[in-house]
Structure 1
Amino acid sequence: MTNRTNRHPVAVLVLPGALPLEFGTATQIFAMDPHYDLTVCGDTDTGLVPGCGFSITVAAGLEALDDARTVIIPGYDDIDAALSAELLAALRAAHARGARLVSICTAAFALAAAGLLDGRPATTHWRHAEQLRQRYPHVDVLPNQLYVDDGDILTSAGVTAGIDLCLHLIRTDRGAAAANTHARDLVAPPRRRGGQAQFIDRFRPEASGEELAPLREWMLDSLAEPLTIGRLAERANISRRTLIRRFREETGTPPMTWLTDARIDRARELLEATTVPVEQIGRLTGLGAPASLRATFHRRLGTSPQEYRTLFRHKDETKDGTKDETADA
């Protein structure tokens, strides 16, 4: 039996509108381990959990952060809500005295609001990554990663990525065997690398302008062709420099980056919805030979095309690789 005085103190800091799965992840994983001493705290009771019909009553106030060696903040519902000055000051003080700060999902916004992510890499749920980047431009947002370990500050994407990060913390503190034991209890993968990508809906960003919309539509119809900046500028009837500037203004990315993202999106569609051989997908999408396709997938998604297909392949398909429309009938 581990003596309580030798346990690692963990404070789960509950913010108003805490998300139940993220809260449950942090509390269950660390409460079931006798090597940790868990306290649920906050600057106020959270009230009703959004959409769940129950509330969370905290056991302690912000003073619990004074003794915590690890502070875990589960995601919360309203990322536009202002956090109290006392709460942000408590986070800064905990970090200054050496506590390890951990955010799950949208809780990265709380760390950013406290100024603790400035100049540091961080991630959050992919749906909110662009908002985090725009609101806190000094944060190095890595939207495609499951979790980011930056030493004394760690951030993760949503729900299952929070499990990955909590297991990573236990692996760091107590070794692989302890983390694997927890993973078996949770019926979860024992280890997913933080650099593995979140499986987002679409890589290419939404455009905020329409001047180059016809060019982007043509690019989507011409993915298999060898497109260059020169050819794109000629198609738009503008100079290369003007093309790059306007494209970035409308999409937030350079044209060739947007093109690569669009090609990855199309490759994912083919892997999910058809039985087109992987060897042909690189040619159909403009991503090149199979080796180039695999390298692109490993770099951007942290997995191979075949592994991606195994995970996401639709089951309602005919033998010729087209979708079986009768499956929806």
Structure 2
Amino acid sequence: MPTTSLPRTLRIAILAYPGCVGAEVFAVVDVLRLAGHLARAQRTPPAMRLELQVVGLHGRRVTMAGGLVLSVQPPAAAIDVLIVPGLDIDRLDDWEARLAPLQRELVFIRKTFASGSAVAGVCVGAFLLAQAGLLDGRRATTAWLCAPQLVQRYPQVRLVPDAVLVEDGAVLTTGAVSSVFDLSLLLVRRSLGARVAAATARMALLSDGRTSQAPYVDASLRPLPMPSFAQSVEQWLRTRLAEPYDLARLARAFHVSPRTLLRRVKAESGHPPLVLLQQARVEEAKRLLRESGWSLARVTEAVGYGDLPTFSRLFAARVGETPARYRRRTSGLTLP
């Protein structure tokens, strides 16, 4: 959504289609409605007036994910921002079959964008935008769980996998489901102003300013399609997290030279073995922080580090928050 030459009336359309996720439709409607109430209560002059409609291309009713039925309107002639929610998924494959029934939606997305409208894809709504050709050569994000599938299916997309929001020209994409609230607050900020957006976030208990999905990533939920050699090396490292990294020993275990091991692992996984080990150590530390009552020092030692500050810096660089903050947010444990 460009920030220059904004119209006095911002006409927003949410595209509801069979199998879309209702929460990603309702969140925009409800956050903008709440923001409007707060703007009037604060007597804050809006930067522009909002017109919001939920539209569909299959008559007046759409059956969403879970069988919920929603009343919709036909699209208006003029749309400034088109929001495309994600679709229900229970597997991370067979995207062709999932997208095939949505040809009318894909044509509508393409034509709406070509007419000059901004388009926002929420969560796996990015797959619809990519299928419609809107993400070719653009920076984009999607739900962290589906990011590998997006970049594999659409290699022309410049994926920013950890981002909560990515804006590239008139195309905006968001991360996983709750990022629809980040998008909604962005719309409020640009239409009703920063003061109303901050008040809306406080009223609705929303985080205003998230930038990364990294703190929420759980690698155990996402099978990583690594070739067998690199996967075997990673598994060997995972069973020895507390042991010092020794490249020569690792190479001997796989009956290759250190140089060959580095080359093959990097070619297959995109990372050297040490990075795979660091990733595995961070993931195990996240699990221990969530599920155990161990002290931070004990967790650090369990994943192979003798110095808590050093590991805390590594953890924060990869996760986006310190181990202590991660534990407070995810486990509910009381820290000493």
What TM-score comes out, normalization by structure 2 length? 0.79
Give distance in 1, aligned partners of 2:51 and 2:88.
Answer: 27
Give deviations 1:216-250, integer Å, cap 9, x for gaps: 33311222333254442232111345424543566
| SS of structure 2 residue aligned to 1:105 | coil
Give distance in 2, aligned partners of 1:214 and 1:257.
Answer: 15
Identity of aligned residues (%): 32
Superposition deviation, residue 44 in structure 1: 1.9
- The question of 1:73 aligning with 2:84 is answered yes
What letter matches 2:10 in structure 1? H
Superposition deviation, residue 264 in structure 1: 0.7
- The question of 1:24 aligning with 2:19 is answered no
Give distance in 2, aligned partners of 1:287 and 1:161.
Answer: 34
Number of the residue aligned with 2:205: 187
Give deviations 1:68-89, integer Å, cap 9, x for gaps: 2211111112552226555334
1:126, 1:144 within 8 Å by CA — same for their partners in 2? yes
- The question of 1:201 aligning with 2:218 is answered yes
2:229, 2:265 within 8 Å by CA — same for their partners in 1? no
What letter matches 2:80 in structure 1? R
1:197, 1:300 within 8 Å by CA — same for their partners in 2? yes
Give distance in 1, aligned partners of 2:215 and 2:83.
Answer: 21
2:35, 2:197 within 8 Å by CA — same for their partners in 1? no
Give distance in 1, aligned partners of 2:54 and 2:253.
Answer: 59
1:107/1:221 CA distance change after superposition, 3 Å: same
1:83/1:171 CA distance change after superposition, 3 Å: farther
**Within-5 A mapping of 1:110-149:** 110-149=128-167
1:59/1:47 CA distance change after superposition, 3 Å: closer
Number of the residue aligned with 2:186: 168
Number of the residue aligned with 2:295: 277
1:71, 1:101 within 8 Å by CA — same for their partners in 2? yes
Superposition deviation, residue 211 in structure 1: 4.5
Superposition deviation, residue 305 in structure 1: 0.9
Give deviations 1:263-304, integer Å, cap 9, x for gaps: 110111221122333244334324563333333333322211
Pick from 38, 43, 55 the counterpart of residue 69 of structure 2.
55
| SS of structure 1 residue aligned to 2:99 | coil
What letter matches 2:87 in structure 1? Y
Give distance in 1, aligned partners of 2:246 and 2:110.
Answer: 48
Give distance in 1, aligned partners of 2:247 and 2:57.
Answer: 54
| SS of structure 1 residue aligned to 2:238 | helix
- The question of 1:42 aligning with 2:56 is answered yes
1:247, 1:254 within 8 Å by CA — same for their partners in 2? yes
| SS of structure 2 residue aligned to 1:163 | helix
2:62, 2:72 within 8 Å by CA — same for their partners in 1? no
1:42, 1:58 within 8 Å by CA — same for their partners in 2? yes
Give deviations 1:192-226, integer Å, cap 9, x for gaps: 32235251221785355445655433311222333
- The question of 1:298 aligning with 2:309 is answered no
Give distance in 1, aligned partners of 2:152 and 2:15.
Answer: 25
Give distance in 2, aligned partners of 1:89 and 1:221.
Answer: 50
Quote the RMSD (CA, aligned, Å): 3.1
What letter matches 2:81 in structure 1? T
Number of the residue aligned with 2:105: 87
1:96/1:118 CA distance change after superposition, 3 Å: same
| SS of structure 1 residue aligned to 2:214 | coil
Give distance in 2, aligned partners of 1:26 and 1:76.
Answer: 16
The answer to which of 152-161 and 280-289 deviates more is 280-289
1:288/1:83 CA distance change after superposition, 3 Å: farther
Give distance in 1, aligned partners of 2:151 and 2:132.
Answer: 15
What letter matches 1:18 in structure 2? C
Superposition deviation, residue 161 in structure 1: 1.6
Number of the residue aligned with 2:331: 313
Give distance in 2, aligned partners of 1:314 and 1:185.
Answer: 23
